[in-house]
C-alpha cells in the first residue's frame, strides 16, 4: 500500500501540485514560493521511503444549538490530541504506524497498525489482548465477481500514467496563477525538532484558501473542463470501466441475466451532454455558495536550505452563522526520506480475523474502552 501520510494531505493538493511539477517552466513566470514548493514536493513524492511524525488536534463546538452531549464532546476534544509516527516503504508496499491518544496530557490509548499487500493489522492491547487483522484476499472474496482493482490504480497513478500527467499539465495556465495568488513565503522561519532530538530552522511556504478563493479555483477548473476534449475522453474512459464492472456484478447476482446496461448508449449520451452538465455544475456552485459557511484552509510546507521538505502542517477552520465551529490541525515533521526505515510488522499468526469476531469479543472490547475512559475521568453515557 502506498503511504498515506501528511505528504498527501488532500487529493486536491496531490493533483494540483503534481500539475505544478509537470509544468515547472510555466511556474517560473508566476511565483517563486510556488516554484520552491513544487520542487520540494516533487522530491518528496519520488521518495521510496518515509519516516514522519505527526500530531492531530481537533476542536468542535455545536454553537447555539448545542445539547449537553455536544458540550461533553466539545470538552473531550479540547483535552484530547493524537500523536503518531509513520514508517513507509513504497517499493515493498508496506507501512507501519505507532499511534498514541492523549487526554489531559496523559496517555489514554496506545497501539500500532501495519499494512502490506496481503493484510491490514491492528494491535491495541488495552482494547483487545490479541492483534486484529483483515486479509485483503478475504475482502475481495466476498465480492460477487472479482474486480481488477489494479486497472483503476494505474489509471489514476499520476507518477506513472503519461496520459494523466499530460492532462493535468494542460491545466497549468488556469491553475497556476490562482495557486500563485494563494501562496506566500512566511516572513518568519520555523524551527523543527526531529525524533533524534536535532533541530533545524526552515523556510515556510503557506498555501491559504478561503471559501471565495476555493470556489473560484474550482469554477476555473470546471470551466476549462467543460470544453476540453482530453478531459472528456479521460472521464468517459473511466466511466466505461466502472459500467463494465457494474454489469459484471449484475450478471453474477442475477440468475436470468434480465437486467443489462446498454453501456455504449450510456457513454454516447454522456458524450453528448458532457459539456452542458459540467457548465451546469459551475452555475450550481454560484447557487450553493451562500449556503457554505466561511472557512480557512491552509497547507504549510517547511523547507530546508537545500529545498528539501522537512515538515508540513494542514489547518482547517470553519464557523457558521449559528456559531458552529470546526477546527482541524495536523502538524508533521519528516525525519527522513529515501533512507532505511524500521517498519514494525504485526504477527497475525496468533491474531483474530476481524470478520470472525464473536459477540463475546465485541463485549470485551466495549468494556475495555469504557474502563479506559472512566480511568481518565471521562463520563460514559449509556
- Tens digit of each residue's pLDDT (9 = 90 or more) over 308-318: 999 999 999 99
Alpha-carbon radius of gyration of the chain: 24
Contacts of residue 171, defined as CB under 8 A and 6 or more positions apart, other chains included, come to: 19, 221, 224
Contact 100, 110 (CB under 8 A): yes
Looking at residue 257, its pLDDT comes to 62
CA dist., res. 129 & res. 121, Å (int): 13
Buried b (16+ CB within 10 A) or exposed e, 231-268: bbebbbeeeeeebebebeebeeeeeeeeeeeeeeeeee
Beta bridge partners of 216: none
What's the confidence (pLDDT) of residue 31?
60
Q: Averaged in consecutive runs of 10 residues, what is the pLDDT profile of the chain (382 residues)?
A: 42 42 41 81 86 96 88 92 95 93 95 93 96 81 69 82 91 89 93 96 95 94 95 94 86 68 91 95 92 94 94 96 94 95 93 92 94 84 59
Cell 449559528 sits on residue: 322
Write the pLDDT tens digit of every residue in 169-215: 999 899 988 888 899 999 999 999 999 999 999 999 999 999 999 99
Please give the Cα distance from 65 to 71 (Å, whole number).
10
C-alpha grid cell, residue 304 = 530546508
What angle separates helix 172-182 from helix 211-226, to the nearest 10 degrees?
Answer: 170
57, 122, 246, 274, 355 from 113: Cα distances, Å: 20, 5, 32, 43, 17
Query: How high is the pLDDT of residue 127?
Result: 96
Q: What burial class does residue 278 get, using C-beta atoms within 10 Å of its C-beta: 0-12 exposed, 13-18 middle, 19+ buried?
A: buried
CA 242, 246, 248 angle in degrees (round to 5)?
Answer: 120
Reduce the DSSP state of residue 26 to 3 states and report it.
helix
- Amino acid 254: pLDDT: 66
pLDDT at 108: 95
What is the DSSP pairing of strand 352-353 with strand 49-61? Answer: unpaired
Kind and range of the H or E run holding 207: strand 199-210
Are the C-beta atoms of residues 112 and 93 closer than 8 Å to each other? Answer: no
Cell reading at 314: 494542514
How many other C-beta atoms lie within 10 A of the C-beta of residue 190?
16
pLDDT value at position 9?
37
Amino acid at each position: 500500500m502506498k503511504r498515506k501520510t501528511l505528504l498527501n494531505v488532500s487529493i486536491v493538493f496531490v493533483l494540483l501540485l503534481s500539475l505544478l511539477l509537470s509544468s515547472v517552466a510555466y511556474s517560473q513566470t508566476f511565483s517563486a514560493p510556488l516554484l520552491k514548493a513544487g520542487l520540494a514536493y516533487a522530491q518528496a513524492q519520488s521518495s521510496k521511503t518515509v519516516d514522519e511524525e505527526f500530531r492531530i488536534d481537533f476542536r468542535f463546538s455545536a454553537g447555539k444549538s448545542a445539547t449537553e452531549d455536544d458540550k461533553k464532546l466539545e470538552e473531550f476534544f479540547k483535552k484530547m490530541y493524537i500523536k503518531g509516527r509513520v514508517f513507509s516503504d513504497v517499493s515493498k508496499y508496506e507501512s507501519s504506524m505507532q499511534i498514541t491518544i492523549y487526554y489531559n496530557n496523559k496517555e489514554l490509548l496506545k497501539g500500532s497498525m501495519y499494512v502490506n499487500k496481503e493484510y491490514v493489522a491492528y494491535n491495541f492491547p488495552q482494547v483487545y489482548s490479541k492483534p486484529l487483522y483483515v486479509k485483503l484476499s478475504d475482502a475481495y472474496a466476498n465480492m460477487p465477481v472479482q474486480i481488477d482493482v489494479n486497472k483503476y490504480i494505474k489509471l489514476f497513478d499520476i507518477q506513472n500514467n503519461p496520459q494523466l500527467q499530460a492532462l493535468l499539465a494542460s491545466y497549468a495556465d488556469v491553475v497556476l496563477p490562482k495557486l500563485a495568488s494563494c501562496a506566500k513565503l512566511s516572513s518568519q522561519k520555523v524551527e523543527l525538532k526531529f525524533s533524534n532530538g536535532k533541530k533545524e530552522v526552515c523556510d515556510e511556504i503557506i498555501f491559504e484558501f478561503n471559501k471565495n478563493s476555493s470556489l473560484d479555483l474550482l469554477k476555473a477548473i470546471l470551466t476549462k473542463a467543460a470544453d476540453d476534449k482530453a478531459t472528456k475522453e479521460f472521464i468517459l474512459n473511466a466511466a466505461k470501466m466502472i459500467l463494465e464492472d457494474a454489469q459484471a456484478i449484475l450478471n453474477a447476482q442475477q440468475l436470468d441475466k434480465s437486467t443489462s446496461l446498454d453501456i455504449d448508449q450510456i457513454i454516447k449520451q454522456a458524450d453528448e451532454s458532457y459539456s452542458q452538465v459540467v457548465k451546469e455544475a459551475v452555475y450550481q456552485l454560484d447557487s450553493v455558495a451562500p449556503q457554505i459557511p466561511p472557512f480557512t484552509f491552509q497547507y504549510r510546507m517547511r523547507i530546508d536550505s537545500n529545498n528539501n521538505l522537512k515538515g508540513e502542517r494542514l489547518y482547517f477552520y470553519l464557523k457558521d452563522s449559528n456559531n458552529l465551529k470546526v477546527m482541524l490541525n495536523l502538524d508533521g515533521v519528516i525525519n527522513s526520506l529515501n533512507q532505511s526505515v524500521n517498519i514494525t510488522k504485526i504477527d497475525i499468526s496468533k491474531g483474530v480475523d476481524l470478520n470472525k469476531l464473536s459477540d463475546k469479543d465485541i463485549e470485551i472490547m466495549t468494556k475495555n474502552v469504557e474502563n479506559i475512559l472512566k480511568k481518565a475521568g471521562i463520563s460514559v453515557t449509556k
